[in-house]
Chains A and B, each alone.
Chain A
């Protein structure tokens, strides 16, 4: 019995030594360590609206819609699983995973990021082709290679039916010239 009392006293000493283990969070910040993936952050000025992230997202958080001259890229992050597939898929590195996790809110609408990017139109018939930024990006990438003539790069500003029509008419013209 005496032995028990001694062991209990020892335990009490151990408990005294341990001190306070409880975290002081949320009164003191406790940031995430290492490669923690928090709320995705979108650098809107770099996004070209290509939709690669929307294809990669397993929860289909990201939606694209063309309305009123803009392409609406909408991130509904309420159901995001923080897998970072969008970050890996983005060709412009516009998406990064922020360490932010303090995302509690009363309304799921607080977790929506929406970007409106200007649309580019076919210069012949006026059908929407994609965003202006994506167009400029492809044109500059192609002209940097120096393998394509300027008219060919300009041809990107046309939709597929118009391109076909133009190709046909030029072919007929060429035949007439040859004849």
Chain B
């Protein structure tokens, strides 16, 4: 899709639908923290909505279990285009300690195209805020792959 069009579409408030895809609730609690007045995610125009049809972004926590995959795909299809997918927590990023379990799909990236990963077990509320601000282009990305070769 045209990047300029995407930027124009996401210029205003992003409404988020929160999906638990087999998460242990740790990440969900941190997501709730972000909505409290202390962290106040609504400063950035972000708010939780109650149906995926109103959402611009999916906030998914958990390694995507076999049971939840069908429902997750249905939720994903219900979100109108253009849509963002944000994976919260180590489970969504790489499957966590269940990355090779028969019961999960080993991370959100194996099921949906993901736009942003927020790793952490669980991520601090600040980390989620940082990720959100990064998605909005307010702060730079801080991590990069590191390579070392012995000489």
CB distance A104 to B118 under 8 Å?
yes
User: Cβ of A141 < 8 Å from any Cβ of B?
Assistant: no
The answer to whether A111 and B97 touch across the interface, beta carbons within 8 angstroms, is no
**Interchain nearest-CB distance for B86 vs A (Å):** 9
- Considering only residues 42-61 of chain A, those with a C-beta below 8 Å from chain B are 42, 44, 58-60
- Interface size grouping (class) on chain B: 35 or more
Contact-residue bracket for chain A: 35 or more
Q: Is B130 an interface residue (CB 8 A)?
A: yes
Contact A111:B143 (CB < 8 A) given known A22-B38, A23-B39: yes
- Name A104-120 residues within 8 Å CB distance of B: 104-118
A66 smallest CB distance to B (angstroms): 14
- A106 and B117: CB pair below 8 A? yes
What is the CA–CA distance of A111 and B133 in the complex, to the nearest angstrom?
Answer: 19
Within 8 Å of chain A (Cβ to Cβ): is B22?
no
Q: Give A44 to B143 CA distance when docked, in angstroms.
A: 17
Q: Is A129 part of the contact surface with B, judged by Cβ < 8 Å?
A: no
**Identity of the chain A residue whose Cβ is nearest the Cβ of B44 in the assembled complex:** A26
Instruction: Count A-B pairs with CB separation below 8 Å.
Output: 138
A79 touches B131 (CB 8 A): no
Q: List the one stretch of A4-12, A95-103, A145-153, A164-172 in contact with chain B.
A: A95-103
Which listed segment binds A: B6-14, B68-76, B120-128? B120-128
Whether the pair B127, A103 counts as a contact (CB closer than 8 A) is yes
Minimum Cβ distance to chain B for residue A94 (Å): 11
A residues lining the B interface (CB < 8 Å)? 21-23, 25-27, 30, 32, 39, 42, 44, 58-60, 70, 76-82, 100-118, 132-133
18 additional contacts (CB under 8 A) given A22-B43, A78-B94, A117-B150: A21-B37, A26-B139, A27-B138, A70-B150, A76-B94, A78-B93, A80-B90, A81-B97, A81-B121, A82-B121, A101-B120, A102-B142, A103-B120, A104-B134, A105-B119, A108-B117, A111-B145, A132-B150
